[in-house]
Amino acid sequence: LFVHGQVERLWWPQIAIVGSRAPTPAGRERAARWARAFADAGYVVTSGLAAGVDAAAHAATLEAPGTIAVTATGPDQCFPAAHRRLQRDVARHGAVVTEHPPGTQARPEQFPSRNRIIAGLSLATVVIEAAQRSGALITARLAAETGREVFALPGAPENLKARGCHRLIRDGAT
């Protein structure tokens, strides 16, 4: 793994927070609130630096104990490009982790491996607003397959972005 930032954060207990790239305002607020609660309890919050839930979780936990962003690019790249400042802040207060060498641009097939690393680093995965087909659900599946806890926040029945969470709960997530 390539690590930019405080490598010792990798040994702290971590909770993954993942979800929709386009959450509702309530979903974004829930991500930030849960992330702060985990950080206040001494956990490092780990996510994928994506837009939406991931970014809200990272931004809310830049202070101690920090946050870890697992990326699907090389350590010298940023995706999405609009998160360049957030990525710098995460590296300063936590760590940015990737398995891809410098110069590697984002490609669709790299995101599931990023999700595998998120699940593997974390004691538990919390899913906030995920559609029926979602990278967050890939992370949750990988976490469950490796014996880690999976949590899902339910949403309003008419919220299409909560249907993945509802499915996780039906399938046994807490």
CA nearest 16: which of 146, 108, 148, 109?
A: 148
Instruction: Specify the pLDDT at position 65.
Output: 86
Q: What is the pLDDT of residue 63?
A: 85
Q: Nearest CA to 127 among 109, 107, 141?
A: 141
Specify the length of the chain in residues: 174
Provide the H-helix boundaries in 78-146: 84-93, 111-121, 135-145
Model confidence band, residue 29 (pLDDT cutoffs 50, 70, 90): very high
Mean pLDDT across 12-22: 97
CB-neighbour burial class of residue 92 (10 A; exposed 0-12, middle 13-18, buried 19+): middle
pLDDT at residue 172, rounded to an integer: 94
Residues 6+ apart with CB under 8 A from 75: 2, 3, 4, 96, 98, 100, 102
Among candidate residues 141, 135, 143, the one with its CA nearest the CA of residue 168: 141
Stretch among 6-15, 32-41, 153-162 having the lowest mean pLDDT: 153-162
Percent of the chain residues topping a pLDDT of 70: 100
Cβ-in-10-Å burial (0-12, 13-18, 19+) of 25 comes to exposed
